A and B are shown apart, each in its own frame.
Chain A
């Protein structure tokens, strides 16, 4: 193809962007090398920082350039084309930015840059070697955006350039048009991601990801410098920050899942959820051994191992989400980028680096020959950390099944992929015991002392406190288990462990800590874990459906899988499980249709106790051809949440279904006359006089006053069963020579009425069949024409005329004609005269009452004489054809499912307490470091 010079492209942006990506890559290698050299030769330090600044500024500028291109809808760039559409809302711009691979890689790198800038300011021999590893990670990440093709064929490329042009990605005939940009529009953000959580969840989770690099890099650094003790405290502080942010990100993901996406769950054991939790568990394990190391010098090696594993599992999680290996099993899976090999190299490089550094540096780690005593806190903390590791190990193993399948397939192409039958059940079954052990250990270990100091005297106090705590927990377990539903014996242990964790740590806070923030943080977090256990038990086992339609049960109902949804008809309240539910309204806002459902809780005598409204919605695809997803509406209270998901019946789900339904309807023709009443089995209908230019209202058909002509046939319908009377107006509209039908559905009767398109010509005489005659009138004059008296009363110069849209330079004038018909009726008609660009137009006025078509055809300014063209409609045919279909599915119904989640706030409270405890520890450690207290 010849080179085409395309119109309207902004190629400078992509060229600059791609240059900066390459610069960021080169400067990262330069900075890494310089930081490495600066350990031996201080003169490199300045160069290293300079290189890092170049790198950082390049990354941030690339970030800004893409945002700029998105903001300005530069659809020539594939990334913009994929994520933005014309009508995209600006507040989803950031969400759209990190919705895809390249943007989220950039977000990750952005945080690395920021963290590196902060880290670089610190002193200590471990700073330079930490930076080396951090920048190497960054170099691998930026290489994902390089977009360099190696000369071995299409499959060998390094990175995918975020500035690639849309015409280089797709091979479509449209690109032979130099002005293709005027013709295309972006696809826009996936509607499922058009959610405020999408704006805040990714930045937090990616800051969590980026900060997980720091403990890894610091561990590598201390193994390289062979100085282990000075790094332990800063290592702990960075990891506390890291664990807080990553935990917050995961929690936000849970809250998002709870609020939208899935129906009423905060954790689905989705592979990606699991693999983001595993690094967090390993960080927590590492934090515990790090604490041991600070207090006792034990477990330094183990600490490094946990921090390294946290980073490896994080990379593994990245691989799972970005390689496409999960396929459709996860909501988090990105579309593939073709960088699987590069991702594997990324992971293998750092596993190799970690292993090498560990093996070569482990001999320098201080060792204590004496063993931890079994009465010491450190021993049980170590065991607790081990259990956290074990939890992560199990989760990773189960989640890796797709990877296992892929590997086996390499050797055995006939391998039938294995899958977990029921992931929820599977993970819950094993992880419940992790919860039990951790819950018990948090209570047992925190009261112990490091080194088991003074055990001889302390043992009595310890046993007394632990014994009493256990006693109270047992009693409470029995009491609570009476109040809530428990479905397995394991759950009694789970409940006991949760209560034990709460009470023991509360005891520790009140009796032992006495204001020491450092350990208070730990106890607070542990209590949070106990509260989380309670929350999981109560919300998970005791949620119930209030929309069970027990009287409609089909014959094979089995367990709780049966009957979760009910049908609500608009404005017909319905009772179910103690609630009246009333579907009141639906409104369309942007691409969301919001339903309003009012719940009234009543007692057994039907006395209203309380009332609330939930607003579930469905989200349409960007082109409005189908419903993409339902979003539940949630009514929140302190003790329970009421969750509602609602959606229209299937025949309204997408355009294909709507069409299929319309095609399946059998319309019967009814020939009726004005004034006639006809009777069907369910109703009586009286036909009114056709109304021309009827305003059908905006709701269903847009602004019908903008049509060239509309016709409404009013029908007064009486429903026999109820005696209810109603007026419906089916009709037609004419716009730009196209006829549109405005059918009506009477849901109570299950009928749909429409007017055949041919009715226009039947009811209306076509223009060329009319015999116009000219009449001339001056103001206030009248003329008698074919027994009609036509008088020109005056003019309307207001500019607001029916069927008229003013244009600049128009001169428009409406005549006010008073017509007296041969049978004495007086009617007003207002034909319109328009002078536009020195050309004369007229807009005709037709009145069915007078049967006159009148055009205002000329103005003679000299004699002030107006010329009108008048024609009489001679139609005698008064029959109107109605098409009526029966057994039409209702369009005013909702399929509604409502669940009550008790105690869900305990889940959030527990998680927030865990994170809050981490923050408390972090703050107190920062303060004591500043005050020089150890």
Chain B
């Protein structure tokens, strides 16, 4: 083979692959997103990701004896709108303590958000803990 490249093949390969990498990253950025709101989900009818807070004043329903895979609660999104969220999975531990909830799914015709995935952000367990004065308490 007598090719008259200006650059070495290895360099060419390196440049090709790095170029490919940038193309990949441009595509990959489609996977990055911010969060939708209940309203925009209602309008678009698409599968979206919504972040918000659990509304503790509304009922949190989970009756494992009836159906261990059905769980519903009310969530307030970042725009302040509240909707009922239903999800087909067992209730998570520390659910009530969550600081933030991120649900992925879409709105149904009953004006509920049907989530297929849920992420909970919980306060770190050991960060703000006070001194454990159990012995003192027992002595008193």
Check if B43 is an interface residue, CB within 8 A of chain A. no
B34 close to A371 (CB less than 8 A) = no
Stretch among A349-357, A378-386, A491-499, A689-697 lining the B interface? A378-386
Asked whether A421 lies within 8 Å of B104 as measured between CB atoms, the reply is yes
**A371, B8: Cβ atoms closer than 8 Å:** yes
CB proximity of A628 to chain B, nearest CB, Å: 8
- For A170, the chain B residues whose CB sits under 8 A away are 131
A572–chain B nearest beta-carbon distance, Å: 12
Contact partner, B24, options A382, A387, A394, Cβ 8 Å: A394
| Stretch of A15-23, A183-191, A208-216, A840-848 at the chain-chain interface | A183-191
Closest to B90 in A: A565
With a CB–CB cut-off of 8 A, which chain A residues contact B131? 170, 172, 174, 184
The contact of B88 among A174, A390, A563, by CB within 8 Å, is A563
Q: Are B10 and A379 in contact (CB under 8 A)?
A: yes
Within 8 A of B (CB), among A390-437: 390, 393-394, 397-398, 401, 416-422, 425-426, 429-430
Residues of A at the B interface (CB closer than 8 Å) are 82, 170, 172, 174, 182-187, 190, 298-299, 328, 335, 371-374, 379, 382-383, 386-387, 390, 393-394, 397-398, 401, 416-422, 425-426, 429-430, 549, 552, 554, 556-559, 561-567, 623, 627, 629, 647, 649-650, 653, 889-890, 893, 895, 897
Docked Cα-Cα span, A416 to B139, in Å, equals 50
Contact, CB under 8 Å: A552 / B135: no
The answer to whether A379 touches B135 (Cβ under 8 A) is: no
Cα(A625)–Cα(B116), bound, Å: 31
The reply on B129 being an interface residue by CB < 8 A is yes
Please, which residues of chain A bring their CB within 8 A of the CB of B127?
A: 335
Closest to B139 in A: A183
Bound-state Cα–Cα, A126 to B124, Å: 47
B68 within 8 A of A: yes
- Cα A933 to Cα B67 with chains together (Å): 70
Closest A residue to B69 by CB, please name it.
Answer: A563
List A contacts of B139 (CB < 8 A). 183
Known: A397-B25, A397-B28. 9 other contacts (CB 8 A): A372-B8, A393-B21, A394-B25, A401-B32, A549-B69, A556-B108, A561-B88, A565-B89, A650-B64
Across the interface, do A382 and B132 meet the contact criterion of CB distance under 8 Å? no
Which residues of B sit under 8 angstroms from A561, Cβ to Cβ?
A: 88-89, 116-117
A–B Cβ pairs within 8 angstroms, 28 of them: A174-B133, A174-B136, A182-B135, A183-B135, A183-B139, A185-B132, A187-B129, A298-B10, A335-B127, A379-B9, A382-B13, A390-B20, A394-B21, A394-B28, A398-B28, A417-B34, A418-B33, A549-B68, A554-B67, A554-B69, A558-B116, A563-B69, A563-B88, A565-B68, A566-B68, A623-B134, A649-B65, A889-B65
* Binary per-residue interface labels of chain B (84-127) against chain A in the complex, 1 for a CB within 8 Å, 0 otherwise: 00101111010000000000100010000010110001101111
Indicate if the CB atoms of B88 and A558 lie closer than 8 Å: yes
- B residues within 8 A CB of A183? 133, 135-136, 139
Q: Does B17 belong to the interface (CB within 8 Å)? A: yes
- Contact A567:B124 (CB < 8 A) given known A174-B133, A554-B69: no
Instruction: Point out the residues of chain A lying under 8 angstroms from B73, CB to CB.
Output: none
User: Nearest 8 pairs between A and B by C-beta?
Assistant: A561-B116, A183-B136, A562-B88, A426-B31, A565-B68, A418-B32, A563-B69, A416-B34
**Chain B hits for A182, CB < 8 A:** 135
Q: Do residues A390 and B132 form an inter-chain contact, with CB atoms below 8 A?
A: no
Taking CB atoms, residues of chain B closer than 8 Å to A382 are: 10, 13
Residue from the list A335, A420, A554, A629 in contact with B32, Cβ < 8 A: A420
> For A425, what are the chain B residues with a Cβ–Cβ distance below 8 Å?
31
A771 CA / B25 CA spacing, docked (Å): 92
Q: Is the CB of B126 within 8 A of A185?
A: no
Q: Which residue of B lies closest to A556 (CB)?
A: B114
Please name the residue on chain A nearest to B87 by beta carbon: A561
Question: In the bound complex, do residue A390 and residue B17 qualify as a contact, i.e. CB atoms below 8 Å apart?
Answer: yes
Q: Give the residues in chain A near B121, CB-CB below 8 Å.
A: 328
A429 to B28 alpha-carbon distance, docked (Å): 9
- The reply to whether B122 and A556 contact each other, CB–CB distance below 8 Å, is no
Q: A374-B1, A419-B33 are in contact. Are A565 and B69 (CB under 8 A)?
A: yes
A627 engages B88 (CB within 8 Å): no
Separation of A335 and B127 alpha carbons in the complex (Å)? 7
With known contacts A174-B136, A394-B25, A554-B67, A421–B116 Cβ distance under 8 A: no
Taking a contact as CB atoms under 8 Å apart, the answer to whether B17 and A559 are in contact is no
Q: Are A335 and B86 in contact (CB under 8 A)?
A: no
Verify A650–B91 contact, CB threshold 8 A: yes
Beta-carbon contact of B88 and A421 below 8 Å = no
Kindly state the separation between the CA atoms of A627 and B70 in the bound complex, as whole angstroms. Answer: 21
Which among B21, B25, B69 has the greatest number of chain A C-beta atoms within 10 A? B69
For B67, the chain A residues whose CB sits under 8 A away are 549, 552, 554
Say how far A336's CB is from chain B's closest CB, in angstroms: 9
Q: Mark B58-89, 1 if CB is under 8 A from A, else 0.
A: 00001011011110000000000000001011
The interface bits of chain B over 33-73 (1 if a CB of A lies within 8 angstroms of the residue's CB, else 0) are 11100000000000001000000000000101101111000
State whether A623 touches B68 (Cβ < 8 A). no
Chain B residue at minimum C-beta to C-beta distance from A561: B116
* A603 nearest CB across to chain B (Å): 27
Set of chain B residues within 8 Å of A627, measured between Cβ atoms: 93
The answer to whether A556 touches B17, judged by C-beta atoms less than 8 angstroms apart, is: no
The chain B residue sitting closest to A170, CB to CB, is B131
A876–B70 Cα distance when bound, in Å, is 54
Which B residues lie within 8 Å of A649 (CB)? 64-65
Chain B residue at minimum C-beta to C-beta distance from A302: B10
A214 → chain B closest CB, angstroms: 26
